[in-house]
């Protein structure tokens, strides 16, 4: 198992690194029998330590969790428990499901490309009336798996994201599932005339 431990605004010592490697190795050995790639980032924000854990098993599933605490060990344990809870919840579906995520379509964007919002040409508009414009940051290469809707929801939960694009096994069209503000899951599917 390849584990990469990185500290931002913090010096990660040998003892903490060894603790992280031992804990993630035990989680990986418990749930997977093939190689796993893991990245752990510790970040000091004020009086809190934020720990992000990402695990990438060979099966194409991406797990992500975050923990925050006043101690880096406690922050890591919170993040590790969340990853383990996700794996426990989806263990049977990950290992025994007949439709594993495919890699049919790959969207490739430039790494760390930042698009500036368009500025208005007119100076007559008051600043208070214009909505705040945000930067659009392109991410790296992303595979779009061919899965069922329930598997797409599972993969969205495992990745700890608010939306997930996938190619539906029934029909092969691009579809999206997302977390709604009311706590439910939304599903966007093109109509028959769009397919």
Architecture of 2-96 per CATH?
A: 2-Layer Sandwich (3.30)
Residue boundaries of the structural domains of the chain: 2-96, 105-188
CA dihedral 53→54→56→60, nearest 10 degrees, is 140
Q: How many other C-beta atoms are found inside a 10 Å radius of the C-beta of residue 149?
A: 16
Q: Note the pLDDT tens digit of each residue in 19-44.
A: 999 998 888 888 776 667 889 999 99
- Condensed to tens digits (0 to 9), the pLDDT of residues 53-93 reads 988 876 667 788 999 999 999 999 999 998 888 777 766 66
Can 2-96 and 105-188 be said to share one CATH topology? Answer: no
pLDDT over 90 percentage in the chain: 23
Could you name the CATH architecture of 105-188?
Answer: 2-Layer Sandwich (3.30)
Tens digits of residue pLDDT in 155-182: 888 777 889 999 998 888 899 999 988 8
């Amino acid at each position: 198992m390849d584990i990469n431990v990185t500290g931002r605004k913090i010096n990660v010592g040998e003892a903490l690194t060894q603790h992280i490697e031992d804990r993630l190795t035990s989680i990986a050995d418990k749930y997977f029998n093939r190689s796993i790639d893991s990245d752990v980032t510790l970040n000091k924000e004020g009086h809190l330590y934020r720990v992000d854990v990402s695990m990438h098993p060979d099966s194409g599933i991406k797990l992500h969790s975050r923990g925050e605490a006043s101690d880096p060990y406690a922050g890591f344990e919170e993040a590790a428990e969340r990853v383990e809870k996700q794996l426990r919840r989806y263990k049977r579906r990950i290992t025994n499901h007949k439709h594993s995520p495919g890699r049919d379509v790959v969207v490739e964007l430039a790494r760390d490309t930042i698009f500036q919002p368009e500025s208005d040409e007119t100076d007559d508009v008051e600043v208070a009336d214009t909505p705040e414009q945000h930067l659009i940051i392109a991410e790296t290469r992303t595979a779009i798996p061919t899965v069922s809707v329930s598997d797409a929801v599972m993969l969205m939960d495992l990745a700890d994201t608010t939306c997930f694009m996938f190619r539906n096994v029934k029909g092969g069209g691009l579809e999206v599932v997302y977390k709604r503000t009311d706590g439910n899951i939304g599903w966007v599917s093109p109509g028959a005339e769009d397919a």
